[in-house]
Amino acid sequence: MGTLYDYFFNSGPFLKARKKIFEDVDIKANSQILFVGVGTGADLRFIMGKDISVTAIDLSPEMLGRAKNQYYSPNVTFMEMDAQNLTFSPESFDMVIANLILSVVPDPNQCFQEMIRVTRTGGRILIFDKFAPPSRELPVMKKILRPVVALMGTDIGRHFEQIIMPYEKQIRVEEDASALFNGMYRKIIVRKHQT
C-alpha cells in the first residue's frame, strides 16, 4: 500500500509541488511542528536538518512504520492518533502541516477544529490538498466520479471554504494558491489569530 502510494503521490508532479511548497514556506528555528496524517512521511524530508521539533501522527500503524523506517530522527516523534481527536493540549504547535488529510478524514470540520485548537495563537496551518472549486458547484464529471473516487478513501468534492466557515473569527487565510493540476490541488496557509 505504502509503496503504491509513494509511486503516485510522492513522485513526478506531486513531488515537485511538495518541494516547492516547503521551499517557499518560512519555518523558524526551534518551532514545534505537527504533521497530521503524516502517511509514509514524504514531506518529512523537506524539513529534515532544520532546528525544529516535529511530532508526526497517523491513524495507520503501517503508514507510521514506513515513515519511521525512512525518516527516523531524534527530532521526530511518531504517534498513532486520530486527526479528528488530537490528544495534545491547546496551543501546542507553531505550525500544523495537513497535507492530503482534510480530503481523507470522515469529518473534515472536526479535523480542522482540532488543528486550530492545537495551533498557537499567531501560528500557522499549512495545507496541500485537493478541494472542489471555490464558490462553484462541483463540475458534472466530478459529481459522477466522486462516489467512485470515494471507494479509494478520498473525497474530491469538499469545499475548503465550507470547512473553514465556522472558524472565520479565529483564522485568516494568508495564502491560497494553485499547487498542482490547475488549482485542483491547492497550497493554503491559515493563520490563527486572537479572537
Answer for the pair 133, 183: CB distance below 8 angstroms, yes or no.
Answer: yes
Q: CA-to-CA distance for 19 and 97, rounded, in angstroms? A: 14
Q: What is the DSSP string of 76-128?
A: EEEEE--TTS--SPTT-EEEEEEES-TTTSS-HHHHHHHHHHHEEEEEEEEEE
In the bound state with ligand SAM, the residue whose beta carbon lies nearer, of 29 and 148, is 148
Instruction: Residue 90: count other Cβ atoms within 10 Å of its Cβ.
Output: 11
Residue nearest ligand SAM, CB atom distance: 39
In the bound state with ligand SAM, the residue whose beta carbon lies nearer, of 86 and 164, is 86
- C-beta of 42: minimal distance to ligand SAM in Å? 5
In the bound state with ligand SAM, the residue whose beta carbon lies nearer, of 111 and 164, is 111
- Using CB under 6 A, list all residues that contact ligand SAM: 9, 37-39, 42-43, 58-60, 63, 82-84, 99-101, 104-105
Distance of CA 63 to the CA centre of its chain: 15
Distance of CA 114 to the CA centre of its chain: 13
- C-beta of 36: minimal distance to ligand SAM in Å? 7
Report CA Rg, the chain: 16
- C-beta of 2: minimal distance to ligand SAM in Å? 9
Angle at 127 between CA 76 and CA 30, to 5 degrees: 35
- C-beta of 194: minimal distance to ligand SAM in Å? 28
In the bound state with ligand SAM, the residue whose beta carbon lies nearer, of 61 and 122, is 61
In the bound state with ligand SAM, the residue whose beta carbon lies nearer, of 83 and 132, is 83
- C-beta of 49: minimal distance to ligand SAM in Å? 19
